[in-house]
A and B are shown apart, each in its own frame.
Chain A
């Protein structure tokens, strides 16, 4: 079945460092891909998405490119801030059913220190 694998955390960085969180997926057809973020004490929020191969999603300085050849959707940010500390979830929505049922990875906790 469809699945998402993302790098284990926690990831600990200093402020202004470069961030990469790896995400790979297994799916039939052409899924849509998402990154969700969960800040402490808050619900899951959509960070960015891409719906077809080679699309780049971007938001708040984060970006990820849908790479069908490597079945990947790695999250990157050039300069992280303390406020980016959160848990990040990679997810896919299968190419079927007509509704956006989400399959999530296990999440990666990011801690950014001043």
Chain B
């Protein structure tokens, strides 16, 4: 596809479950970002990859959050032992030079 694709679009998890969110960036884009957007707020930076290297993970809120991009393309954001405060929209963005292209996000609801 032409844009950034995220799956699933919606995920409901019971508290304590592990979840995995997938991001397919635009082909050839070197940079990949994950953001977390709480209801009524702007997106907040979680982590950044340049190809397969995770160069900045300063925004990950706890060690329950883990991201990977093993082959420098598809990325997965994993959240272990989900808690209610993890409920948010998780956005992925990719870029080649300076403009970031965003996916539609995955809405995670922890019940």
Name A residues whose Cβ lies closer than 8 Å to a Cβ of B: 4, 32, 36, 41-46, 49, 89, 91, 97, 99-107
Contacts and interface: CB of A to CB of B under 8 A. Distances in A.
B56 A97 contact: yes
Contacts, number: 54
21 contacts: A41-B104, A43-B105, A44-B91, A44-B93, A44-B102, A99-B48, A99-B50, A99-B55, A100-B98, A101-B33, A102-B35, A102-B43, A102-B45, A104-B42, A104-B43, A104-B44, A105-B42, A106-B40, A106-B41, A107-B41, A107-B42
Interface string B16-46: 0000000000000001010100001111110
Given A43-B91, A106-B41, 19 more contacts: A41-B104, A43-B3, A43-B4, A43-B102, A43-B105, A44-B91, A44-B93, A44-B102, A49-B99, A97-B56, A99-B48, A99-B56, A100-B31, A100-B95, A101-B56, A102-B33, A102-B35, A102-B100, A104-B44
Contact of B48 (A36, A101, A107): A101
Nearest to B95: A100
Contact of A45 (B41, B102, B105): B102
Interface of B: 3-4, 31, 33, 35, 40-45, 48, 50, 55-56, 91, 93, 95, 98-100, 102-105
A58 B19 CA distance: 40
A104 B48 CA distance: 16
Contacts of A103: 45
A46 B100 contact: yes
Contact of A42 (B48, B95, B104): B104
| Interface of chain B: mostly helix, strand, loop or mixed | strand
Q: Which of A36, A43, A104 has the most CB of B within 10 A?
A: A43
**The 7 residue pairs across chains A and B that have the minimum distance between CB atoms:** A104-B42, A44-B102, A43-B102, A43-B104, A106-B42, A104-B43, A107-B42
